[in-house]
A and B are shown apart, each in its own frame.
Chain A
Amino acid sequence: MQEHCASQEHRAAIVVTGIGDAWVQDVSALRLGAEPLVARVIVALAPLVGAILLVPLAGRRAPRLAPPLGRRVTLVRAEADLDRAGRALAEAAAHLPPEATTIVALTGDMPLLTPACIDPLCRALEREPGDGVVWAARGEAGSALLVAMRRAALVKAAPRLRQGESPERVFEAQRCASASLGVAGNGHPTDALLAVRNPAGLRRTLVTLGLSDPAKPAVTLEVYGQLRLTTGCAAFPLHAETVGAALAALRRIDPEAARGLGEDGAWIEHFRCAINGQQIIVDPDHPLRTGDRLVLFSAAVGG
């Protein structure tokens, strides 16, 4: 009996990169690990799409991606400099693999994006009959854009995009529905993800989502295995006073991915935490100190 675990070949994503000067300037402040932000976006997309086209804008260097991220990613280089997101999308359309019918397009970095956000967007599109564009709920003006559309819709939009029209305007004209992102399951505004334009915005969002409270110790929660694959993140920066509080924060970030942790203290049955990779903690009230790194792993370790 065999079951294929590879991604879905009928879906492809186009990621326009190089928008976020603000991030580049202050990337260390984000404490999102050593990865460039676009790498996090790609990790979030990878389980759900068969191909990812990465289009750097003019004057930007293509991000250096760690080898694990490289295989499904094709770097699209245009003859002419692509100075606008719309032109980059139109250029990428010509490089889509033939089997791709559902296209997810992102312009910019969305550091809180997870696979749980992408899936509802694709599903919403796949339920729509025509060639409209499905929007993820939108944040403040100038935020990154996250939409899904059929290939035909992108082909239709391409001439206007090539003319330099903004993708917001072009896709707004073709909008057929809005999808609610998975992360909204925790009751926070779905816009929160897209409203993040710079480190200050990220910090604001983390506070809004209850993930950040500077009065509490700043710690990092490292996740492995299924949690890493489904959240698309290797590590989460958090403010938490105890191990239990740190895991509660993870549930707020991505309730779907963290479902296996169960409610409140239930995680202890199936997970373990090692503070800084050393002693293994089973007490949810174990206090944390600023700088601690919590290694969260399955209790079914070994075998």
Chain B
Amino acid sequence: MMGGAGDHGMAMHGFHGRYLRVDLTRGVMEEVPLAPEVLTRYLGGTGLGCWLLLAETRGAYDPLAPEAPLVLASAPLVGTGLNTSAKAAVLCLSPLTGRLNDAMISSHIALALRGLRADALVLVGAAPEWCVLRVEPEGASLHPAAEWRGLSAEATESALRARFGDDHEVAAIGPAGENGVPFATLTHAGRHAGRGGTGTVLGSKRLKALAVRGRPEVRPAHPARFEAIRRRLQARSMGAATEKYRTTGTIGNLLVFNRLEVLPTRNFQATSHALAADLSAETLLATRAVHRSTCADCKIGCDRRVELEGGGQVRLEYESLFALGPLLDLHDPAVVLEASRRCDALGLDTISTGGTLAFAMECAERGLARFGDLRFGNGPAVLDAVERIARREGEGALLALGTRALAARIGQGSEAFAAHVKGLEMPGYHPRGLQSLGIGLAVGSRGADHNRSGAYELDLTGAVDRFRVDTERIPLLIERENQGAVMDSLILCRFIRRAVRDLYAEAAEMLTALTGHPFTAEEIARTAEGIQRLKKRFNQRQGWSEAEDTLPARFFRGPDGAADGPEGGGRAGIDRERFRQARAEYYRLRGWDAEGRLPPEPGASAAMPPAARSQPAQRSVPLGWGR
């Protein structure tokens, strides 16, 4: 049985003071101590995960090399029953972008990971054959996975629970992850650590799935205080602050975005779709049986599962609807729901799949390339292409490259309308009408991720003029990004954000009541900055340069300065000069140099933050082999 430094040696409640490293090549699980300073400084989730990625590697590396780590980082609030706290961060070097990829995986798997009595689980190496990794508080074992290969994540999850027992929680990949598609998802209970290829990295280790058994036992240092905080958050999060998520879920965005002309349509060539109403929450909820579902420890329940005409259900969220609907000029719910179902079953990220298909369609429309019958509005061709991408078959092998690499192959100026940042396909927010978000996506460490930035809130809540960029809004933009990093490290779901009034003060209050360590709002604010520095350091080590902190040409004004660039979009594009000024201001306020690089820190090398070296493993036990 593995011990637990938290159970013997860690004075603070809420942390375990160790992480587990499973080395699949060497066939061992090791217990590695984590210093209290690291935990209080980076908390957990994304913060701790970034620190571990840096600590576990020594320089630039290949995302699919055996030594590439996949980090599953728990966090202090996980398992406390606090509303929306059942999440774990999944971090790796993205095979799609070559940059940091920090995703979230939600619900019971997060609770089970917390139940391992470790602050994180780090996977390195590669198994000798396709396996399932089973991790329990007593140890870990590998199980040959031949019989589950080719199954969807959902089917794998059911099969493994039948094999190992319902007390196991499973995160699995589908065929796309097995086939090395660089935007493959890692899935648990129908929810995905979706973007950037976390599933691809698991697959590169020849792991079909991870089965975890563990029950979290979190005892706050000050139980009564913590309970009062829990109740307060619970009460606030059931009011108007979360009503949209509770009533329509995120699919409620579609019709509003269409009306505000920020709904990306036909590969971002337009900002609204004439038939968007057919796919709207207002229509789907009135015409189909829609079930509401929640993550564990969540009373909001943003999750919507729509019944399909031929039986079964599909989980729907706004990003899937936009990416497989208007972005491809599709509006028939039957086609879009089926495309989404196939992506889920095959383990493909819906945004990257839709984004790449939309790009290919525009290339076909312009006569730059052909991909069979793939054209805007051709639903059957989309359904077929989704299957081929997952199998990397025929044109699917090209489409499986993702937008950036595909544009590099096609060339002929197609890069101008290849909608990605750092290789990550753009989300369902048209930057021409959301120009703060345009900056946020451009400088984002993960690439075009709307949630890591959160700057759309500035545009859509009227805090700024959404049709222009300027330097004045940059402090607000940085603050949104920082607050997001804290939520991802505590962890709390982003959808509860409006129920939290003063994030740093309330986070300090929660952590103090939980851990007994006196956190302050100022420390939490510094933690936010520190996490951003870790992200930057990681990317810098992987070869980041200023040139990649930008948007595709499509979103800027035309080269002649005309209000609408040659690529259209229905709205004036972003002014390049103002964009450059805003980006420079972002670097300045972050304390980076004029090229956006971190200045040297005392005690830190270019690659490592101070003290970012994991300590020697305390214990090591061999992985068992099971059947």
Q: By the criterion CB–CB under 8 Å, are A272 and B252 in contact?
A: no
Structural contact, B462 and A280, CB atoms closer than 8 A:
yes
Tell me if B240 and A280 are in contact (CB < 8 A). no
Closest-CB distance, B243 to chain A (whole angstroms): 6
Expressed in whole angstroms, the Cα–Cα distance for A2 and B457 within the complex equals 30
A30-74 vs B, Cβ < 8 Å mask (1 yes, 0 no): 000000000000010011000000000000000000111111100
Residue of B nearest to A296 (CB): B256
A75-83, A90-98, A199-207, A218-226: which one contacts chain B?
A218-226
In the bound complex, do residue A301 and residue B253 qualify as a contact, i.e. CB atoms below 8 Å apart?
yes
B15, CB-defined interface residue at 8 Å: no
Q: How far is the CB of B454 from chain A (nearest CB, A)?
A: 8
Contacts of A69 in B (CB 8 A): 286-287
Contacting residue for A2 out of B244, B245, B292, B460, CB 8 A: B292
Q: How many residues belonging to B are interface residues under a CB distance threshold of 8 Å? A: 50
Residues in A neighbouring B597, C-beta threshold 8 A: none
Q: How far is the CA of A302 from the CA of B480 in the complex (A)?
A: 14
Shortest CB-to-CB span from B468 to chain A, Å, is 11
Bound Cα distance A226, B282 (Å): 8
Residues in A neighbouring B247, C-beta threshold 8 A: 225-226, 229
Q: Which residue of B lies closest to A297 (CB)?
A: B256
Closest-CB distance, A48 to chain B (whole angstroms): 12
Q: Which residues of A contact B248 (CB under 8 A)?
A: 225-226, 229
Alpha-carbon separation in the docked complex, A272 to B459 (Å): 11
Q: A1-B301, A3-B301, A302-B429 are in contact. Are A281 and B462 (CB under 8 A)?
A: yes
CB nearest to A271 among chain B residues: B240
Q: Establish whether residues A225 and B292, one from each chain, have CB atoms under 8 Å apart when the complex forms.
A: no
Instruction: Say yes or no: is B504 at the interface (Cβ < 8 Å to chain A).
Output: no
- Chain A's closest residue to B272 (CB) is A277
In the assembled complex, the Cα of A66 lies from the Cα of B286 at a distance in Å of 12
CB interface residues, A 1-36, toward B, < 8 Å: 1-6
Contact residues in A for B253 (Cβ distance below 8 Å): 301-303
Give Cα A248–Cα B278 distance, bound, in whole angstroms: 30
Q: Mark A251-267, 1 if CB is under 8 A from B, else 0.
A: 00000000010100000
Q: Are A302 and B255 in contact (CB under 8 A)?
A: no
Q: With an 8 A cutoff between CB atoms, is A152 at the interface? A: no
Task: Answer yes or no: A156 CB below 8 A from chain B CBs.
Answer: no
Which of chain B's residues have a CB closer than 8 A to the CB of A302?
253, 429, 450, 456-457, 460
Query: Does A155 lie at the interface of the complex (its beta carbon under 8 Å from any beta carbon of B)?
Result: no
* Chain B contact residues: helix, strand, loop or mixed: helix
A270 close to chain B: CB less than 8 A: yes
Cβ of B291 under 8 Å from chain A: yes
Give bound CA distance, A281 to B463, whole Å.
9
**Chain B, residue nearest A228 (CB):** B282
Mark contacts of A274-303 with chain B using CB atoms, 8 A cut-off: 1 yes-contact digit, 0 otherwise.
Answer: 100101111000000000000101111111
Among A4, A260, A270, A281, contact of B291 (Cβ-Cβ < 8 Å): A4
Contact B255 A224 (CB under 8 A): yes
Cβ of B286: which chain A residues have Cβ within 8 Å of it?
43, 46-47, 68-69, 71-72, 229
Q: Do residues B451 and A303 form an inter-chain contact, with CB atoms below 8 A? A: yes
- B236-264 CB mask vs A (1 if < 8 Å, else 0) is 00001111110110101101100111000
A272 is contacted by which of B285, B292, B301, B461 (Cβ under 8 Å)?
B461
- Chain A neighbourhood of B287, CB < 8 A: 67-72
Q: Is A172 part of the contact surface with B, judged by Cβ < 8 Å?
A: no
Considering only residues 291-348 of chain B, those with a C-beta below 8 Å from chain A are: 291-294, 301-302, 305, 318
Residue A269 is within 8 A (CB to CB) of chain B in the complex = yes
**Contact across chains for B256 and A303 when beta carbons are under 8 A apart:** no
Contact B282 A224 (CB under 8 A): yes
In the assembled complex, the CB of A300 is this many whole angstroms from the nearest CB of chain B, namely: 5
CA distance A5 to B242 in the complex (A): 17
Please report the C-alpha to C-alpha distance between residue A226 and residue B540 in the assembled complex, in whole angstroms: 45
Q: What is the bound-complex CA distance between A234 and B259, given in angstroms?
A: 12
Mask of B431-472 contacts with A, CB within 8 angstroms, 1/0: 000000000000000000011000011011110011100000
Smallest CB–CB gap between B498 and chain A, Å?
5
In-complex Cβ contact of A269 among B240, B278, B294 (8 A): B240
Given A225-B248, A272-B460 in contact, is the A279-B291 Cβ separation under 8 Å? no
Whether A270 touches B460, Cβ cut-off 8 Å, given contacts A224-B252, A303-B250, is no
Q: How far is the CA of A17 from the CA of B281 in the complex (A)?
A: 27
User: Do A300 and B241 form a contact, CB below 8 Å, given A68-B277, A272-B462?
Assistant: yes
B495 on the A face (CB < 8 A): yes
A255 to chain B, nearest CB (A): 15
Contacts of B462 in A (CB 8 A): 272, 279-282
Q: Is the CB of A2 within 8 A of B282?
A: no
B282 near A68 (CB under 8 angstroms)? yes
Bound Cα distance from A301 to B262, whole angstroms: 12
* Binary contact track B259-288/A, C-beta < 8 Å → 1, others 0: 111000000000000000110011101111
Determine if B494 is an interface residue (Cβ-Cβ < 8 Å): yes
For A295, what are the chain B residues with a Cβ–Cβ distance below 8 Å?
A: 256, 259-260
B245 touches A303 (CB 8 A): yes
A177 to chain B, nearest CB (A): 30
Chain A: minimal CB distance from B626 (Å): 31
Is there contact, CB below 8 Å, between B260 and A277?
A: yes
Known A-B contacts A224-B256, A226-B248, A297-B256; the reply to A260 vs B285 at CB < 8 A is no
Bound-complex Cα distance A68 to B277 (A) = 9
Docked complex Cα distance between A229 and B282 (Å): 7
Chain A residue at smallest Cβ distance from B257: A301
Q: Tell me the bound Cα distance from A170 to B567 in angstroms.
A: 66
Tell me if A225 and B240 are in contact (CB < 8 A): no
CB distance from A282 to the nearest CB of B (A): 4
With the chains together, A43 CA to B287 CA distance in Å? 10
Q: Is the CB of A280 within 8 A of B243?
A: no
**C-alpha gap A269/B462 in the complex (Å):** 12
Residues of B within 8 A of A280 (CB): 459-462, 466
Bound-state CA distance A303–B494 (Å) is: 7
A2, B450: Cα distance in complex, Å:
28
B495 pairs with A303, CB closer than 8 A: yes
Candidates A67, A68, A260, A299; contact of B461 at CB < 8 Å: A299
> What is the minimal beta-carbon distance from A269 to any residue of chain B, in angstroms?
7
Residues of B within 8 A of A226 (CB): 243-244, 247-248, 252
Cβ B291 vs Cβ A225 within 8 A: no
State whether B243 touches A260 (Cβ < 8 A).
Answer: yes
Q: Are A225 and B252 in contact (CB under 8 A)?
A: yes
**Listed residue (A234, A270, A301) with the most chain B CB atoms within 10 angstroms of its CB:** A301
Asked if A225 contacts B260 (CB within 8 A), the reply is: no
* Besides A225-B248, A260-B243, 12 new A-B residue pairs in contact (Cβ under 8 A), listed by A number: A69-B287, A224-B255, A225-B252, A226-B247, A269-B240, A279-B465, A280-B461, A300-B242, A301-B256, A302-B460, A303-B245, A303-B451
25 A-B pairs, CB-CB below 8 angstroms? A2-B305, A3-B292, A3-B301, A46-B286, A68-B278, A68-B286, A71-B287, A225-B248, A226-B247, A228-B282, A234-B282, A269-B240, A270-B243, A272-B460, A272-B462, A280-B460, A280-B462, A280-B466, A282-B462, A297-B256, A299-B498, A300-B243, A301-B253, A301-B457, A302-B450
- The 7 A-B residue pairs whose C-beta atoms are closest, nearest first, are A280-B462, A68-B283, A270-B240, A298-B244, A226-B247, A71-B287, A225-B252
